[in-house]
Structure 1
């Protein structure tokens, strides 16, 4: 089977090729560095399936074009699927499968790394010392012990964050529309308003759906403590970025760390260092000393990449062997 792999970086090739060598019948992988869109969909010509990542666009026009090209399967190298029009995919008869969980500890640990960096200003201290500046002014942080962690989303990543926060000696609050019995030993389940009002740190660990887009908006930000820290390693559009900027400017939000951004598609996973970035909202974010932005690397560990590759090939084999796919979100 021939598979077009979109948004393919060097590390994707390495781990996918490694996993492909372990297959009884290896697949023919055709790597495309370009992301999938209506302009690049022709790269899937002659392929049985495509393999995509978080910023590839699969709206109805792209799905129609893939159907015409003879593509039968769509395989995501990630857990989120907000970039796929599932209704259109179902109507067109595609098999759509994802990697539902991969090393949740990787994202949880990275979340804590962002919190610690933003809190203790280690990124700024590193740059100062390299320039011979050993002053401590502006580097004052807070002790996390006995602070309150508010975790939105009680899936595997959220629970992994809760375990680490508990280890710091923090009070842990959790919110999720779904009941999470596993969280009972880690903290207290509360409603969203209570979590926002009581937490010193609010961190997001939930998938993006249309009904929770801009979950953190101007109204919710007003409920938070003015000195609170907001962390997002899930999906960018969970946060209303303009509202966050307004809260930072008015000092209604203490600090922000994001590994995702709602308009990240044209920016992330590429070198834009020699370009003029025309995204004024993103550029405004970068002017705040109490804001930390990274480029969607929370998942990026050896263990997670190997798990993503292995599960992707499990899903591909379901299409090749015409067997039931346990990770399917749309079935043929």
Structure 2
């Protein structure tokens, strides 16, 4: 930040929703205003539904077998979304869209959120978190990043999840205690998972590490499970979203330069 300030930089806009990679305190001390972006929920919501369906239909196993010319059916029987209860943790824009997308399947949709949305009446049934965990066949996480949500799904909460349930996370990696999840997978308490994010994944995700060694223990272990799908924080990555992020980032900088602020300025960073 000191180097940027020396060059006269007064405004920064990151082309990401998250901004934990920016030292906000330093920015504030040097008088640098920080902005971020938002984007339509469609991409992440659609990707979440895809992972839900892939998990229910055991697609990691099915696709691996197809690659090695094993076309047998043993162990590949899946479940229907329409006969499942899905629990959505967090009904912000993305969680709400996931609910709207899966409801037509005939799915029973539970939701846990401190701020229920009236527009989701008839689509979701709001319950407390423990009830959601106990009654859901599949749990999908869409809560915002916060200190309170760090390891929201920990060993205690995983123990309350219905035995044989699956977990999908396209939200924030640190909402799940990965070691607790691994233990539950090994014990057979959790039937499977689909994870687009992991805690401390930035060293590897969005990089080509084919010639390197992965030293992220939890990433290595989770990838090894035949019932766990891991993707590299790619749920957001569509042409439409990238275009929106670039346009918002540039537009936000122009607003900051003209007006001194922008609706996308990070709170506490001014």
TM-score above 0.5 = yes
Q: Aligned partners of 1:323 and 1:241: how far apart in 2?
A: 41
Q: Structure 2-normalised TM-score? A: 0.93
1:38 alignment partner in structure 2: none
CA deviation string 1:227-251 (max 9, x = no partner): 1111110111011111111111111
Please, which runs of 5 or more residues in structure 1 have no aligned partner?
Answer: 1-62
1:14 alignment partner in structure 2: none
8 Å CA contact 1:202–1:228 kept in 2: the answer is yes
1:209 alignment partner in structure 2: 146
2:160 alignment partner in structure 1: 223
Instruction: Single out whichever of 273-282 and 166-175 deviates more from structure 2.
Output: 273-282
Please, which runs of 5 or more residues in structure 2 have no aligned partner?
Answer: none
Match 1:97 to one of 21, 27, 35: 35
2:99 alignment partner in structure 1: 162
Q: Aligned partners of 2:229 and 2:25: how far apart in 1?
A: 36
CA deviation string 1:130-172 (max 9, x = no partner): 3322101121111111311111111110001001110111111
1:270 alignment partner in structure 2: 207
Match 1:75 to one of 10, 13, 31: 13
Q: Aligned partners of 1:210 and 1:234: how far apart in 2?
A: 14
Q: Aligned partners of 1:91 and 1:196: how far apart in 2?
A: 43
Larger relative contact order (CA 8 Å, sep ≥ 6): 2
CA gap of 1:143–1:272, structure 2 versus 1, over 3 A, is same
1:238 alignment partner in structure 2: 175
CA gap of 1:327–1:194, structure 2 versus 1, over 3 A, is same
Q: How many equivalent residue pairs? A: 269
8 Å CA contact 1:82–1:209 kept in 2: the answer is no
Q: Aligned partners of 1:200 and 1:77: how far apart in 2?
A: 35
CA gap of 1:84–1:183, structure 2 versus 1, over 3 A, is farther
CA gap of 1:284–1:131, structure 2 versus 1, over 3 A, is closer
RMSD: 1.8
- 1:1-332 alignment, distance < 5 Å: 63-64=1-2, 66-100=4-38, 102-330=39-267, 332=270
Instruction: Single out whichever of 217-226 and 207-216 deviates more from structure 2.
Output: 207-216
